[in-house]
Structure formats: C-alpha cells, structure tokens
Structure 1
C-alpha cells in the first residue's frame, strides 16, 4: 500500500482516537474512499496497529494521571486491577458470544466467513454510529443531573458495578465498527454514577489492556490468510504488510500525541452531548456514502 495512504489513515486514527466518535469507523470510511478493502487481513491488521500506536500515545499522555490514582499505593492498584480484570472478563465473554452468534446467523453456510468480513459494510457502520450517538446524547443530556447524584466512595477508580457495566458494553462494541468503544464505555460509566473523569480514565485503561490480545489475533489471522493464499498460488506480501502496519503505528502515535494535547482540554471543557450529535450526523453521512456505492 502506498505510504501516503498509510499516513492519511494514521492521521485520521490519531485525530479521532481521543474523541468518542469511533476512530475505527473513520479509518474504515477513509479506506473505502481510497479504494481499499477494510475487511482484508492486511487492512484489519493495519487498523489494529493504528490503534496500537494511539494506545502508546494514550499511555504517554495519561501516565501521570494513572500514577496519581491507580498506582498511588498497593491498595489503590489492587482495587484498580480487580476492576480491570472483572471488566475485561465480561468484555471477553460478551464479545465471544456475540461474535459466535453473528458468525452462525449472518454467515450461516459460509464456513470461512469471519467477523472481520463485516468491517467493509458501511450499512452496518452507520447504525452503529447512530447507536453510539444516541447513548452519548442520553449521557450528555443527563450530565448535570448525573453529576449531582454521583457516588462518593473510597478511592479514585470506578466501582465494581460501574466497571462491570463498562466491560459489558465494551464487549458489545467489539464486533461493530462505528459503535464507539470510548464513547459507549464512558457514557455507560456516567449513566451508572461515575464522574466523566473517572469513567474516561478507566475507559482508556481498559483499551490499553484490550489492545495486545486483539493485535495478536489479527497477526494470527494474517498469518493464516498468508498460508492459504500461498497454497492457492496468490501469495500475500506478509513482510510488507507487517512493515506497513508498524509504520502506520508510528505515525498514529505522533498524530495521537498531537491530538491528545489540544483535544483533551476541549473534551473536558465541552459538553458531552455534542459528540453524540456528531455521531448521529456522521451516521447519516455514512448511510449516504453507502447509498452512492461505497
């Protein structure tokens, strides 16, 4: 793939990652507009590696906050670790169940079909964006009321109940590009009584934990596709795909750092519901792109 396209996708990913507007949906739409196949193993690996780049940007940006809260003491870290494990366990259970259900219903009779085959369908990305937008709108419009009723408890992490709901919703996000993971989990945290700051901090921590196994899964998928393509006489440039993905991750890291530095303040100072409005408008735009043939 041309380096210029990789750079464009990395910048799109980096700019959209912090905001609850589904960075992966923006990358998939950009891929479609550039004539690329988002469902191919090379493209899904690139997408995951772009997320990896911005994951490291998130770690670099939030590290001091996490040290002050999650690593302030052994007791604070223990509470945080238990909540992360609980939320990630629920994410895995819900994500696997949902993936298997989709593969056995939507892809019934297609033995080689995979959940990634959905990633090129704008007609699915659009309603996912709409669903995320509605959830963000509800949390945003109730933000002041929720702030007045927020729970007071010992520590700076979310409660087990809040972590559980955030993990559950994160599992629902896994199969669908457009259903913003950060938007859905932060909104869920707010709706269950967490402050936006706590929900945001915990949501990004969950993303850091979730990314490595997803990267490993996509790397194995690409390796399997490479073997199948070689057996069919149409080999995939495995080395080129990996190098391109790593290059994209580097660009996404720097784009993410730039975006985080000037977007974070705007995110916290702004009104949460505005991101919901954006997702709803974006869903209409994606529906239109699907209508005209993308």
Structure 2
C-alpha cells in the first residue's frame, strides 16, 4: 500500500473522465507517480506529455504512458475505461458491454500481482464495482466505486444555491444506485449542526421543492450529456477526493459504492452509501437511520441493481461469478 516514500496511481481508460481525473491528480499533487494505460497508446502518450507540463506549477509528479505491467506495484488502480453513456441512454443500458470490458481489464491487472485498491468509475458503477470484486477475488473493502459521490455533490450544490449557503456546509447524501433509482437521504442531513429538514423549512423551502431538487439531481447527468456529450469534471474531482483519502489514510467519510453485508438489511451488493475510507480502502460502512420513504427507496434501488446485475452478468458470460 501507499507509503510516504512512494505513492503510485495507475489510470486505466484515458477518455474524458480519465483525462480529467489525471489532471485532478496532477493539479493536487496527490501521488508521486501517475501511469496512464489506454487502448490507444498514442492518446495516453499525448496526455502524459501534456500533463507533465503542468507539474512545474503544481507538484513534481512523475507521469507517463504505461502498460499493465505498471500495475504490479501500484497503490490504486482507477478504472475509467468503458463505453460512454449516450444522449438519452441510461447508465444501466451500458451494463453488458462494460462488463465484458471490465473482465478483460481486471484479469490483466490481477495477473501482474497487483495487491492495492481498485477504484471504479465506469458505468453502471455499482454493478461494475460488484463485478470487479467478484472477478478479482479481492476482499470487498479493497474494491470501491465512485458511487453517489458525484450525485451527493450535485444535491449539495442545488441546496446551497437555493439557500445561498456554501455547498461544503450542506451535509446530505444521495444514496443507492448511481442512477435513476437513487434518492436523497434528507432525514439524515444537517446544515450548521441543525437537522436539514428543520433548516430548509425554516428558510423557505418546502418538502415538495426538496423532492423536485432530488429529481433534478437524478436528471442532471442527462442535461449535461445532451448539452456537451459527457460529464467529467465533477466525477473526476470526486475520484481525486477518494484517491486522496486512500493515499493519505484520512479516515474520511465519503458517499461511495460500497459492499453491503447486512447494512440497511441488504447483503452481497454494492450501492451508494457513506463509508469511512482509509489506506486499506473501505474501513466500514456508515449506515444511516433512514425514514420510511428512504428505506423503501433503498429497497427498490437494490432490487433494480440485483436484477440488472443478474441479467447483465448472464449475458456477458459471467454467470459463474454471480453471487459468488
């Protein structure tokens, strides 16, 4: 794992999300070494050459294009590879294509002797994170998905705008699927130490308006994709934040895609929930005390994920890994 002497991150998949993540790692000087692996080596070489020009202004990060052999001594493998979401396409429709890509990548990585942390960003992220854990055979705490980290940020921005408050001071998370069945855990949120529901109702927001914000958060990715083709700055920064929590052993609570083993009454599934992140990955899941609406939404989302996982892994020829 990461040490003070050497911190190495390998990025697999240098599309718009991967490239933005690489820039975030360089910009924040998170690692001592960043290796980029991409199907098109010319692109990864070009990105490495471009990124190294930023290091005199940020931190002396060694950045290069590499191969799977570079994974052997990495602390974190961040996977952004996979088919991109198209306008009008849900994340769940990507499942079969991206499961096949993920199987190939994970087997290549594991064959090098890699023993660090897998960080997954490709969609549908909860299902692909589950598949990576099953295919790799790694302990569940060492396989993390970006989960609802981006969605939670979107919700905090939306509430911050409505109330004229710094979004960093809005403490509330989106939970469950990173997708259409996710929901806002409003009953557990706080602002300035005050229960979120009390604060927003006292400052002019109604429950109906909060539910509308929740729906807007669910649809924000579609709005961005329809306008510019892809979303990448937000998720790349969220990935960088998770990376920092791991490399610097921060014991930070972040909303990620984590493996559940009884939390929320669910087992053998990955979905978005707050979790404590340290140098070993997920130290523990933070189970929120959901109200009846939120608990029902979580059960529904878990059901959607299970059904899609089963169908996708069967069609992708990964049935032997299912519920392993």
Q: TM-score, normalised by structure 2?
A: 0.26
Which structure is higher in helix share? 1
Q: TM-score, normalised by structure 1?
A: 0.28
Which structure is higher in strand share? 2
